Amino acid sequence: MLFVSCQSIDGISPESKRSVPACGVNNPVEDLPWLKELIKNSNRDPESPFCVLQSVQQGTYEGQTIYFPVLSGALCCTCVGVSAYNCQGDLVFGCDMDATSKITDIKTVWTLK
C-alpha cells in the first residue's frame, strides 16, 4: 500500500506557502508605503526624455521578496542590472548584473498606463 502526502519536509504544505502574501500584504502597490510613494513621485509622462518608471517588478532573491523599478527614457541613467529593494524599502543591491540574474519568480505588480 502506498501513502502520498502533501506535507513538506519542514512541516508546511506547499499550498500553505503559496497562500502567504509577499511582504505580508495582498497589494504591495497600495500597502507598502515606500513603494506607493515611489510610484506616486515618479515621472509618469511616457514621452519624457528623462527616466520614466515603466513598471515595478516583484521577485525572489536569496529567499526574500524584492521589488525593482523598470525605468526607460533616452536620458535615463543606464547600468548593468537592476536596483532591488526589500519589503521595507531598503536597497538590497544596485546595478548588479550577477545579482539580477539570480532573481526568480518575477511578476509585474504595477505598470505605467
Residue range 33-76, pLDDT digits in tens: 999 999 998 866 666 667 788 899 999 999 999 999 988 876 66
Rounded distance between C-alpha atoms, residue 6 and residue 43, angstroms? 47
| Helices then strands, each counted (H, E), the chain | 4, 5
Region label for 43, one of left (φ > 0), alpha (ψ between -120 and 50) or beta (otherwise):
beta
Q: Which sign does the torsion angle of CA 39, 34, 26, 66 carry? A: positive
Strand order from edge to edge, sheet including 91-93: 91-93, 84-85, 64-72, 52-61, 104-111
pLDDT at residue 1 tops 60: no
pLDDT of residue 3: 39
What does the radius of gyration of the chain's CA atoms come to, in whole angstroms? 17
pLDDT of residue 72: 80
Rounded distance between C-alpha atoms, residue 19 and residue 83, angstroms? 27
Name the percent of the chain lying above pLDDT 90: 52
pLDDT of residue 53: 87
Helical ranges in 11-92 per DSSP H: 14-19, 28-31, 33-40
Does pTM top 0.95 for this prediction? no
pLDDT at residue 4 tops 70: no
Residues in the chain: 113
